[in-house]
Structure 1
Amino acid sequence: MEKKILEKSNELFLNLGFKSVTMDEIASALGVSKKTIYKYFKNKTELVAAVTEYMFNTICKGIDCILDSKMNPIEELFSIKKLVMEHLKDEKSSPQFQLQKYYPKIYTSLKHKQFDIMQGCIIDNLKSGIELGLYRKNIDLEFISRIYFNGVTGIKDKDLFPLNNYSMQTLMNYYLEYHLRGICTEKGLLELEKQLKNNQF
């Protein structure tokens, strides 16, 4: 039952926002009483924390599977982007903004965990790309990995990028291309063009 509560809550939070969804609505969507939810989560804040942890772990497992499949680094980034978009369902309600505004402690904790995972992942991706001649040799790994994280989180700022002007899918596509064009060699650019053709939406 706990997993069902997490899955349904996650779906509702992503579609409608962390602030908008009530415990009554979650109970109704599950066809259970509110009391059943409170058996597993003592309040909404605890449920929000559990849902963000659940989603974070789900995406991390998916990323691990992609890394294990040993694709080339450019294809790897496109696959990770696709995985994240499938799980976040285009973030119609701008959940990151609501999380930051209404649950700042949970947001800060999640951001630290995301940074730790992404930092290692991107540095490995950059090293691999340099070895394969897809990325330029003279790039600063630490700087690029940090600027990449900052960009990926920055495009979710709905004041800078209003959701009626840009879908999250479009923003992620633009940002990934922007990132790769800045670090690719000629060989890398050929692979990038191939991935852009294969990943048209």
Structure 2
Amino acid sequence: MKEKILEKATNLFLTLGFKSITMDDLAHELGISKKTIYTHFENKTKLVEECTQFLFQSIACGIDSIRESQKNPIEELYEIKKFVMIHLKDEKSSPQYQLQKYYPKIFKSIRQKQFAVMQSCVIENLERGLKQDIYRKNINVDFVSRIYFSGMTSIKDDDLFPIAKFPRALLMDDYLEYHLRGIITPKGRKILNEIINSNQS
């Protein structure tokens, strides 16, 4: 039952926002009593904390399996982006903003974990791209990995990039292309253009 509550709550939080969903809403959606939810989660804050952990673990595992498939580094980034977008439900409700505003401690903790995972993932991606001659030899790997994380988190800022003007899927595509165009070699550019053209067709 706990896993069922976690899955449903995570889905609702991502779709409608962490603040918007009440324990009553969740109980109603699951067709159970609030008391049943409270036997597994002492309060809403604990539920939000476990939901963010649950989502983080799901995404981290998915990213690991994409990395294990050893695609070329440019293709790998697009596969990860596609996978993350599916798991984050296209983020129509700006859940990150609500999490940061109403649950700042949880937000800070999950952001640190995201940085650790993304940093190692992007550094490994950059190093493979350098070996395969698709990323430029003179890039500063540590700087690029950090600026990539910074940009990825910034584009989720609804004040900077309002969803009405910047649909999340297009914004992610634009940011990924922006990131790659700054670091690719002519060989890498050929791969990137093929991916962009195949995504548009």
Range of TM-score over shorter length: over 0.9
Q: Does 1:172 align with 2:161?
A: no
Whole-Å Cα distance in 2 between the matches of residues 42 and 146 of structure 1?
A: 37
Counterpart of 2:53, as a letter, is E
Partner letter of residue 53 of structure 1?
Answer: Q
SS of structure 2 residue aligned to 1:144: helix
Q: Determine whether 1:140 maps to 2:140.
A: yes
Distance 1:184 1:143 in 2: 15
Match of 2:31 in 1: 31
TM-score normalised to the size of structure 2?
0.99
1:9 counterpart residue number? 9
SS in 2 for 1:120: helix
Q: Which amino acid aligns with 1:151?
A: G
Query: Once the two structures are superposed, what CA deviation does each residue of 1:86-125 show, in whole Å capped at 9, x if it has no partner?
Result: 0001100000000000000000000000000000100000
Match of 2:150 in 1: 150
Provide runs of 4+ in structure 1 moved above 6 Å.
none
SS where residue 88 of structure 2 aligns?
helix
Structure 2 residue identity aligned to 1:95 = P
What is the alpha-carbon root mean square deviation over aligned residues? 0.8
Q: Distance in 1 between matches of 2:119 and 2:11?
A: 27
Q: So what's the TM-score if we normalise by structure 1?
A: 0.99
**SS state at 1:183 partner:** coil
2:17 counterpart letter in structure 1? G
Question: Which residue number corresponds to residue 160 of structure 2?
Answer: 160
Q: How many residues align?
A: 201
How much has 1:173 moved relative to structure 2?
0.5
Equivalent residue, structure 1, for 2:188: 188
Structure 2: which 5+ runs fail to align?
none
Alpha-carbon distance between aligned partners in 1 of 2:181 and 2:10, rounded to the nearest angstrom:
34
Q: CA deviation at 1:197?
A: 2.0
